[in-house]
């Protein structure tokens, strides 16, 4: 039995016309000899509407009830789609998270998948050609409905593909695939044919919205090749796959950026053990995500520290710093929310030097000042003044020849 997993998001199930397009994709796979597992999201806007309703009812609503409520959105999608498929002579049935089951832990609102009964799915596929599976949802061991968090349907699809074993996984989106950078920012942006899981992870976390980051982690862990492609045409998209030798030949794969950055600089912090813990402990406690961090070398027993947080957390972070002044003993605080992070990503960096130098040189030629730098094995990120974001992205894209095929 050859099985194809296909995932469609909220805009693809918005109405009957859109679902007919989905049916077209399913039919093509059936014609190619596959049995199809279609993972659907809730109708676009439905989940937000339900969350708004809950917010009006109770500011701190019981998350297990919220999850059960939200899960009705995907349930309606798969029921209606199954009705449509059967109506056009395709043997299909809906499958909810608990019916498989997709067992998760009990972290309501952002549950993690523990196991999926792939054998049960295969058995269901013996009596019908298409399973319309509700994305985003699972069930705890004691039978309560959970949801996987935002974009969780991507994760559902990849996890189902992993559980079914040796099956293909297509994630349909409203773009043609993964681009070397944001085409809205840089006209020479080019669709990639292949990208590695690690590169995709860096891109996703940088704000490339194509695939949910957890789904990529899942794909990497179980080595599921994911084909990201468009709902609106039949062009091949981008294969997200395990890194291979040909990939390493490419130095840099893409340029990502993230404008959701705010900078906090502390001057004259005593340079002594425990300062960092005193600084970042309270932020972590308040669930503020700290991204880039730098610390200058010590001068007279004092150092300057700077770090970035999401813009919405800036005010809260500053308040926490001020509350902990008696521990930090810093001389001053400066903040800016007009900063952006630009990142160069590529598995090729692992085996090559000089990428950073080439990047800095390119930015310098355009007089773009670098406020902070952070690096990983396959990524170099630079914090810059927000107004230079577009210029920096284009400059780096050109500097590494990403627009050329």
**Positions in the binding site for a second copy (CB under 8 A):** 16, 53-54, 56-58, 60-62, 64-66, 68-69, 71-72, 75-76, 79-80, 82-84, 86-87, 93-94, 96, 98-99, 143-145
Query: Toward a second copy, which CB reaches closer, 64 or 230?
Result: 64
User: Which candidate, 184, 206, 170, 175, places its Cα nearest to that of 346?
Assistant: 206
Query: Toward a second copy, which CB reaches closer, 93 or 229?
Result: 93
Query: Toward a second copy, which CB reaches closer, 117 or 168?
Result: 117
Query: Toward a second copy, which CB reaches closer, 49 or 150?
Result: 49
Q: b or e along 386-397 (b: 16 or more beta carbons within 10 Å of the residue's beta carbon)?
A: bebbbbbbbbbb
Show the tokens assigned to 21: 């397009």
Distances (CA, A) of 58 to 3, 50, 55, 68, 108: 43, 12, 5, 15, 16
**Least distance (Å) between residue 10 CB and a second copy:** 16
Query: Toward a second copy, which CB reaches closer, 153 or 238?
Result: 153
**Least distance (Å) between residue 88 CB and a second copy:** 9
**Cα(99)–Cα(121) distance, rounded to whole angstroms?**
10
Instruction: State the distance between the two ends of the chain, measured CA to CA, in whole angstroms.
Output: 37
**Cα(202)–Cα(189) distance, rounded to whole angstroms?**
17
Query: Toward a second copy, which CB reaches closer, 60 or 377?
Result: 60
Cα-Cα-Cα-Cα torsion 67, 69, 74, 75, nearest 10 degrees, comes to: 120
Tell me the helices (H) and strands (E) count for the chain, helix number first: 13, 18
**Least distance (Å) between residue 254 CB and a second copy:** 41
List, edge to edge, every strand of the sheet that includes 379-385.
293-295, 302-309, 254-270, 332-345, 379-385, 370-376
Q: Nearest-5° angle of CA 127, CA 156, CA 151?
A: 140
**Least distance (Å) between residue 145 CB and a second copy:** 8
Mention every residue, 6+ apart, whose C-beta is less than 8 A from residue 230.
172, 173, 174, 175, 176, 177, 237
Query: Toward a second copy, which CB reaches closer, 65 or 129?
Result: 65
**Least distance (Å) between residue 75 CB and a second copy:** 5
**Cα(332)–Cα(96) distance, rounded to whole angstroms?**
55
- Round the CA-based radius of gyration of the chain to a whole number and report it: 24
Query: Toward a second copy, which CB reaches closer, 23 or 341?
Result: 23
**Least distance (Å) between residue 331 CB and a second copy:** 46
Distances (CA, A) of 336 to 183, 266, 381: 27, 12, 18
**Least distance (Å) between residue 39 CB and a second copy:** 16
Show the tokens assigned to 142: 């004691």
Query: Toward a second copy, which CB reaches closer, 94 or 104?
Result: 94
**Least distance (Å) between residue 118 CB and a second copy:** 16
**Least distance (Å) between residue 85 CB and a second copy:** 9
């Amino acid at each position: 039995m050859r099985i194809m997993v296909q995932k469609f998001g909220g805009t693809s199930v918005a109405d009957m016309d859109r679902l007919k397009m989905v049916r077209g994709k399913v039919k093509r796979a059936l014609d190619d000899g596959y049995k199809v597992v279609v993972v659907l999201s809730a109708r676009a806007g439905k989940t937000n509407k339900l969350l708004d309703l809950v917010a009006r009812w109770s500011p701190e609503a019981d998350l297990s009830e919220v999850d059960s409520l939200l899960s009705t959105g995907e349930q309606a999608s798969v029921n209606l789609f199954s009705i449509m498929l059967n109506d056009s002579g395709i043997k299909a049935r809906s499958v909810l998270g608990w019916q498989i089951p997709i067992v998760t832990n009990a972290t309501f609102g952002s549950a993690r998948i523990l196991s999926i009964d792939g054998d049960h799915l295969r058995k269901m596929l013996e009596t019908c050609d298409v399973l319309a599976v509700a994305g985003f949802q699972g069930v705890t061991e004691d039978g309560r409905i959970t949801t996987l968090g935002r974009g969780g349907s991507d994760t559902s699809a990849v996890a189902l593909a992993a559980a079914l074993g040796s099956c293909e996984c297509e994630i349909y989106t409203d773009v043609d695939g993964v681009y070397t950078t944001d085409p809205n920012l840089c006209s020479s942006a080019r669709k990639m044919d292949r990208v590695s899981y690690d590169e995709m992870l860096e891109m996703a976390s940088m704000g490339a919205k194509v695939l949910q980051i957890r789904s990529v982690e899942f794909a990497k862990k179980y080595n599921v090749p994911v084909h990201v492609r468009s709902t609106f045409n039949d062009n091949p998209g981008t294969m997200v796959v395990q890194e291979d030798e040909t990939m390493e030949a490419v130095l840099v794969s893409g340029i990502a950026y993230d404008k959701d950055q705010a900078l906090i600089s502390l001057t004259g912090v005593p340079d002594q053990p425990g300062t960092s813990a005193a600084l970042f402990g309270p932020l972590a406690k308040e669930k503020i995500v700290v991204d880039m961090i730098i610390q200058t070398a010590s001068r007279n027993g004092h150092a300057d520290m700077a770090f970035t947080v999401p813009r919405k957390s800036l005010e809260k972070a500053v308040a926490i710093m001020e509350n902990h002044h008696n521990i930090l003993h810093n001389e001053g605080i400066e903040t800016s929310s007009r900063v952006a992070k630009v990142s160069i990503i590529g598995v090729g960096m692992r085996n090559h030097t000089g990428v950073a130098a080439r990047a800095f040189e390119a930015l310098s030629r355009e007089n773009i000042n670098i406020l902070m730098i952070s690096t990983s094995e396959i990524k170099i990120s630079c914090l810059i003044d927000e107004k230079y974001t577009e210029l920096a992205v284009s400059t780096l894209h050109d500097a590494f020849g990403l627009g050329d095929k």
